[in-house]
C-alpha cells in the first residue's frame, strides 16, 4: 500500500515542514511540531479567482442586520463579556478537563433558550449524557436542541436546516471534517472546524460558543490561529479539589479583555459569586506570616487575593523555587532584588509562592505583594491584617506605577484594609494610602 505523505505542523503557529525538528523555525517554539497527513491541494479548476465583493466606503458598511447583546442569564458572565453575547460573536471557552466547561455552557444554553433557539452540538458526550446533566442542573428546555455529532459537514448541514440563533460546540477538538485526512483534534482539523463554524456564524448572524481543550501546559490546544479566528477567548481556571472556578476573558473584540467572573461549583451546577473578594479572603489565616493581600485587576472588576509565601531552610544543594499563580521567572527576579537591594540572604532557602484561589496572575503589579510575602515568611513576622499592597518592582528595587490605582484602593478599603502600600508615582491623597518609592522603603514601613 502506498504510504500517505506526511508533514510536520507546528501546533503553535500552524507552519508546516517536510521534516521534523526540535524547534519551529517559523515561531521559534520548541517541541511543537506534530506529524500530520498532508492535505492534498484542491484542484485549481474549482477555485474562482479574480471575483470579489465590491469594496464600499466605510460610511456605507453598516449592515441592516440588527446587532444585539443577549444576556446569558448569568450576571457576572454578561458583565465579563461586556454586556452579553453579540449577534454572530464566536466565543472560545477553554479549560482543563473536568473544570466545568460543559456544565457552564449547558446552563448558558438553557438560559438563552428561554427566548432563542439554541443548538447544543456535543462531540464528546451522548445526547443522553447531556440530558442527565441537564436534569441535575435544571437545564431542560424545549427550545434547547441537542445534536450528538462529530462530522463537520453534517453539523454545518444541521445548522443550515435548523437555523438556530445560538450554537454551542463541545468541543472543537472532537469534530472532524471528512475533507481532511488527519484525525480529529489535529492542527489542520481544529483550524478547519473553527474556521467553518466562524464562517457560518458570521454569515448567518448565529452567536456561537466553542469549547477548546487545553494542553498539559495549560494553553489552548491547537494552533494559535484558533485564538485569532474567534472574537472572544475565555479561560476557565480553578484549583482541583476546590469549588471555585474563575472565567477569565483573555481576548474580546466586543469588550475589554482581562474581565473575570467567579463561580462556585455545586451539585446543581455553577453558581455565580457576586462578591469574589470576600470569597477569596474567607479562608485567610489570621496572624500567620507569609500572607499578603493584593488587589488584583486586569479589567473593570478588582478582586482581593491572598499571596502566600513559604520560605524554609533547604536540604538540597540547589534551593527549590516553586510558584503557583505567578510566573517562575518573575519570582527569580524578585528574589534577586530582595537579595541585592534589601540584603535578604535567601541562597540556602527554598521559596514557594501560592496565589490562593487558583488565579494565574500575569500583571506585574503583584511583584510587591510577592516580595513582602517572602519577607514576612523569611522573618517569620506576619504582615498586619489591615495591610494591602500593589506595585511593580524594577530591577533596582524601585516600585513602579501600575494602572487602575484608584480602583484597587477602593476595593481594598471596602474590605477594611486601611494601610495600603502603593507606588509613589501615583499622586493619591488619602490617609489610608502609603506611597512607597522602593522596596527598602516598603520593608521599612512594615518593619522588616
Of the pair 120, 404, the CB lying nearest Mg ion is at 120
- Taking the complex as a whole, the smallest distance from the CB of residue 3 to ligand ATP amounts, in Å, to 34
Of the pair 106, 230, the CB lying nearest Mg ion is at 106
Please check whether residue 263 is in contact with residue 50, taking contact to mean a CB–CB distance below 8 angstroms: no
**How far apart are alpha carbons 294 and 188 in whole angstroms?**
42
Smallest CA-to-CA distance from 387 within 401, 367, 373 is with: 373
Judged by CB under 5 A, how many residues of this single chain contact Mg ion?
1
- Burial class of residue 56, CB neighbours in 10 A (0-12, 13-18, 19+): exposed
**How far apart are alpha carbons 258 and 67 in whole angstroms?**
23
- Taking the complex as a whole, the smallest distance from the CB of residue 95 to ligand ATP amounts, in Å, to 6
Of the pair 97, 287, the CB lying nearest ligand ATP is at 97
**How far apart are alpha carbons 75 and 435 in whole angstroms?**
36
* Residue 97 partner contact from ligand ATP, Mg ion, none using kind-dependent CB cut-offs of 5 to 8 Å: ligand ATP
Please check whether residue 257 is in contact with residue 298, taking contact to mean a CB–CB distance below 8 angstroms: yes
Please check whether residue 205 is in contact with residue 86, taking contact to mean a CB–CB distance below 8 angstroms: no
Of the pair 120, 352, the CB lying nearest Mg ion is at 120
Angle at which helix 101-112 crosses helix 127-137, to 10 degrees, equals 80
Quickly tell me which residue has 478599603 as its cell.
413
**What x-and-dash track marks residues 84-103 binding Mg ion by CB under 5 A?**
------------------x-
In angstroms, the Cα distances linking 442 to 17, 34, 376, 396, 404 are 52, 49, 12, 14, 20
- Taking the complex as a whole, the smallest distance from the CB of residue 328 to ligand ATP amounts, in Å, to 26
Per CB under 5 A, 174 contacts Mg ion? no
**What x-and-dash track marks residues 226-265 binding Mg ion by CB under 5 A?**
----------------------------------------
- Taking the complex as a whole, the smallest distance from the CB of residue 137 to ligand ATP amounts, in Å, to 9
- Taking the complex as a whole, the smallest distance from the CB of residue 272 to ligand ATP amounts, in Å, to 16
Of the pair 103, 308, the CB lying nearest ligand ATP is at 103
- Taking the complex as a whole, the smallest distance from the CB of residue 265 to ligand ATP amounts, in Å, to 5
**What x-and-dash track marks residues 102-121 binding Mg ion by CB under 5 A?**
x-------------------
Of the pair 147, 356, the CB lying nearest Mg ion is at 147
| Contacting residues toward ligand ATP, per CB under 6 A | 95, 97-103, 124, 136, 265, 267
Name the β-bridge partners of 438. Answer: 398
In angstroms, the Cα distances linking 85 to 99, 112, 349 are 22, 10, 49
**How far apart are alpha carbons 172 and 92 in whole angstroms?**
9
Of the pair 101, 408, the CB lying nearest ligand ATP is at 101
* Residue 381 partner contact from ligand ATP, Mg ion, none using kind-dependent CB cut-offs of 5 to 8 Å: none
**Grid cell for residue 354:** 501560592
Of the pair 26, 129, the CB lying nearest ligand ATP is at 129
149: DSSP letter: -
Of the pair 127, 310, the CB lying nearest ligand ATP is at 127
- Taking the complex as a whole, the smallest distance from the CB of residue 71 to ligand ATP amounts, in Å, to 21
**How far apart are alpha carbons 351 and 192 in whole angstroms?**
45
- Taking the complex as a whole, the smallest distance from the CB of residue 102 to ligand ATP amounts, in Å, to 3
215: DSSP letter: -
Residue nearest to Mg ion (CB): 102
**How far apart are alpha carbons 35 and 11 in whole angstroms?**
10
Name the β-bridge partners of 273. Answer: none
Smallest CA-to-CA distance from 406 within 437, 436, 429 is with: 429
- Taking the complex as a whole, the smallest distance from the CB of residue 25 to Mg ion amounts, in Å, to 36
* Residue 99 partner contact from Mg ion, ligand ATP, none using kind-dependent CB cut-offs of 5 to 8 Å: ligand ATP
Of the pair 130, 311, the CB lying nearest ligand ATP is at 130
**How far apart are alpha carbons 180 and 163 in whole angstroms?**
26
* Residue 198 partner contact from ligand ATP, Mg ion, none using kind-dependent CB cut-offs of 5 to 8 Å: none
3-state secondary structure of 145: strand
- Taking the complex as a whole, the smallest distance from the CB of residue 215 to ligand ATP amounts, in Å, to 13
Residues in touch with Mg ion (CB under 5 A): 102
Amino acid at each position: 500500500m502506498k504510504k500517505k505523505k506526511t508533514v510536520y505542523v507546528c501546533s503553535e503557529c500552524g507552519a508546516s515542514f517536510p521534516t521534523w525538528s526540535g524547534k519551529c523555525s517559523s515561531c521559534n517554539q520548541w517541541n511543537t511540531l506534530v506529524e500530520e497527513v498532508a492535505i492534498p491541494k484542491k484542484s485549481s479548476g474549482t477555485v474562482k479567482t479574480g471575483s470579489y465583493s465590491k469594496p464600499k466606503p466605510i460610511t456605507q458598511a453598516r449592515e441592516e442586520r440588527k446587532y444585539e447583546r443577549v444576556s446569558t442569564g448569568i450576571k457576572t458572565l454578561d458583565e465579563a463579556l461586556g454586556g452579553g453575547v453579540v449577534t454572530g460573536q464566536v466565543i472560545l471557552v477553554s479549560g482543563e478537563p473536568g473544570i466545568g466547561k460543559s456544565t457552564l455552557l449547558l446552563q448558558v444554553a438553557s438560559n438563552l433558550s428561554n427566548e432563542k433557539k439554541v443548538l447544543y452540538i456535543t462531540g464528546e458526550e451522548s445526547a443522553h449524557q447531556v440530558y442527565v446533566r441537564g436534569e441535575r442542573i435544571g437545564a431542560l428546555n424545549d427550545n434547547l436542541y441537542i445534536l450528538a455529532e462529530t462530522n463537520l459537514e453534517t453539523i454545518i448541514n444541521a445548522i443550515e436546516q435548523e437555523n438556530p440563533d445560538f450554537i454551542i460546540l463541545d468541543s472543537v477538538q472532537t469534530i472532524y471534517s471528512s475533507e481532511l485526512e488527519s484525525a480529529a483534534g489535529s492542527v489542520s482539523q481544529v483550524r478547519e472546524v473553527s474556521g467553518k463554524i466562524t464562517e457560518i456564524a458570521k454569515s448567518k448572524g448565529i452567536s456561537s460558543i466553542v469549547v477548546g481543550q487545553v494542553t498539559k501546559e495549560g494553553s489552548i490546544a491547537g494552533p494559535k490561529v484558533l485564538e485569532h479566528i474567534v472574537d472572544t477567548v475565555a479561560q476557565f481556571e480553578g484549583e482541583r479539589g476546590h469549588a471555585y472556578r474563575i472565567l477569565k476573558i483573555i481576548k474580546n473584540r466586543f469588550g475589554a479583555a482581562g474581565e473575570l467572573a467567579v463561580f462556585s461549583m455545586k451539585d446543581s451546577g455553577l453558581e455565580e459569586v457576586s462578591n469574589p473578594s470576600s470569597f477569596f479572603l474567607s479562608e485567610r489565616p489570621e496572624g500567620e506570616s507569609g500572607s499578603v493581600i493584593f488587589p488584583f485587576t486586569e479589567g473593570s472588576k478588582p478582586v482581593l487575593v491572598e499571596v502566600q509565601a513559604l520560605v524554609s531552610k533547604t536540604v538540597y544543594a540547589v534551593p527549590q523555587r516553586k510558584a503557583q499563580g505567578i510566573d517562575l521567572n518573575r519570582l527569580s527576579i524578585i528574589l534577586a532584588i530582595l537579595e541585592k537591594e534589601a540584603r535578604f540572604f535567601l541562597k540556602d532557602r527554598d521559596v514557594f509562592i501560592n496565589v490562593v484561589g487558583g488565579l494565574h496572575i500575569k500583571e506585574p503589579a503583584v511583584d510587591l505583594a510577592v516580595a513582602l510575602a517572602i519577607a514576612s515568611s523569611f522573618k517569620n513576622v506576619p504582615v498586619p491584617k489591615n495591610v494591602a499592597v500593589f506595585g511593580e518592582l524594577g530591577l533596582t528595587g524601585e516600585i513602579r506605577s501600575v494602572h487602575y490605582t484608584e480602583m484597587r484602593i477602593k476595593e481594598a478599603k471596602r474590605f477594611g484594609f486601611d494601610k495600603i502600600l502603593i507606588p509613589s508615582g501615583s499622586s493619591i491623597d488619602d490617609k489610608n494610602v502609603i506611597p512607597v518609592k522602593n522596596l527598602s522603603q516598603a520593608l521599612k514601613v512594615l518593619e522588616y
